[in-house]
């Protein structure tokens, strides 16, 4: 199980995304970014920051 805490990417947000793979986390993050943060797309630099913060769930 992989996990990403939105706040670890630099947003003032308590959301946590968990999924079986990094790709699934990224798909869920895209939806969260659009719905919670008004981001229509995630640029390459932000995607890199997000991927760097994805870790194995405890």
Range of the domain at 42: 2-56
Burial label for 50, CB within 10 Å (0-12, 13-18, 19+), is: buried
Rg (CA), the chain: 10
pTM over 0.85? The answer is yes
Please state the domain count of the chain. 1
pLDDT tens string 3-58: 999 999 999 999 999 999 999 999 999 999 999 999 999 999 999 999 999 999 98
């Amino acid at each position: 199980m992989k996990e990403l805490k939105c706040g670890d990417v630099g947003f003032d947000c308590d959301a946590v995304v968990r999924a079986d793979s990094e790709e699934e986390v990224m798909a869920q993050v895209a939806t969260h970014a659009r719905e919670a943060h008004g981001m229509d797309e995630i640029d390459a630099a932000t995607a890199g920051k997000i991927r760097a913060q994805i870790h194995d769930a405890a």
